[in-house]
Amino acid sequence: MSEPQSRVAVITGASSGIGAATAIHLSETGWRVVLGARREDRLQHIAQRIGASGGSAEWKLVDVTKRGDVRDLVELARERYGRLDAMVSNAGFASVAPLDALRIDDWERMVDVNIKGVLHGIAAALPLFRTQGHGHFVNIASTAGMKTVPNQAVYSGTKYAVRAISEGLRQEAGEHLRVTIISPGFVYTDFGVVPDDELRERLLAFRDQIAIPPESIARAIAYALNQPPEVDVGEIVIRPTAQA
């Protein structure tokens, strides 16, 4: 594998939160980044910030539920930089509500974004990684993929799926590809749809009390990516010290 300053990462969900923090942090350590998300103004702002700091960033509007969008994002990395070293599947969607609320549209979107989005990232990057003979998948799961709580059953189920798919990929990947699961706890980001006002207020108060910044997750991702080629960090669980 080449030196860090030449490496290239594709990041989905890169317009805010963990994705944006990861793009900025990796660029500061010499990575070239290719950013995908649905919000054009934020992607432009992040890419301009990276460029102004001497980094290199490309961006493209991407909806991870559309396999062609993710494929085109990986192709942009290949065309622009001639390689891809890391596929960071970060895009996610959460809806916090009891099953009795029957928010079926939200259920479907969580499956489409959180599970299919990761699968589309695998489908887009795996052939290129095989051709290159190296590559690293980083899939963002959650501590909700390790413990289910009321109001998060479907979200939690999608994150369990991300962990299972990622572990299966790791076992199939062979000696030249790496796979890392990142399971964050409560991070200071927008946490999705919470239709119940009282529940939303409680979650906001809890977030303000204990949540860790997205930059903490970015550093964990960088730690896994920057290991020697023969070292595969299988999973990092990173949560606030105060989170039970």
Give residue-wise pLDDT tens across range 163-186. 999 999 999 999 999 999 999 999
Q: What is the pLDDT of residue 192?
A: 87
Is residue 3 pLDDT above 90, yes or no? no
Going by C-beta distance under 8 Å and a sequence separation of 6 or more, which residues neighbour residue 188? 207, 211, 212, 213, 214
CA distance 46 to 35: 9
What are the pLDDT digits (tens) for 196-238?
A: 999 999 999 999 999 999 999 999 999 999 999 999 999 999 9
Q: What is the pLDDT of residue 6?
A: 81
Mean pLDDT of 83-98: 97
Phi then psi dihedrals of residue 211, to 5 deg = -65, 145
Element (H, E) at 92: none
CA distance 12 to 9: 10
Whether 161 and 141 have beta carbons less than 8 Å apart is answered as no
CA–CA distances in Å: residue 81 to residues 21, 23, 64, 175, 198: 21, 16, 22, 24, 48
Q: Which of 155, 160, 188, 223 is catalytic?
A: 155
155 given a catalytic annotation: yes
CA distance 27 to 81: 14
Is residue 2 pLDDT above 50, yes or no? no
Mean pLDDT of 26-37: 97
CA distance 155 to 148: 9
What are the pLDDT digits (tens) for 93-125?
A: 999 999 999 999 999 999 999 999 999 999 999
Q: pLDDT band at residue 5, thresholds of 50, 70 and 90?
A: very low
Going by C-beta distance under 8 Å and a sequence separation of 6 or more, which residues neighbour residue 155? 94, 95, 96, 110, 114, 142, 144, 192
Rounded to the nearest 5 degrees, what angle is found at the Cα of 191, between the Cα atoms of 111 and 147? 65
Domain residue extents for the chain: 4-237
Burial of residue 221 (number of CB atoms within 10 Å: 0-12, 13-18, 19+): buried
CATH number of 4-237: 3.40.50.720
12-21, 115-124, 189-198: lowest mean pLDDT where? 189-198
DSSP letter, residue 100? G
pTM, 2 dp: 0.95
Q: pLDDT band at residue 190, thresholds of 50, 70 and 90?
A: confident
- Per the prediction, the chain carries an average pLDDT of 96
Q: pLDDT band at residue 4, thresholds of 50, 70 and 90?
A: very low
* Cα 169 off chain centre by: 16
Q: How many CB atoms neighbour CB 82 within 10 A?
A: 10
Convert 105-114 to b/e letters by CB count within 10 Å (16 or more is b). ebbebbbbbb
What are the pLDDT digits (tens) for 63-78?
A: 999 999 999 999 999 9
Cα atoms in the 13 Å half-sphere on the side-chain side of 19: 27
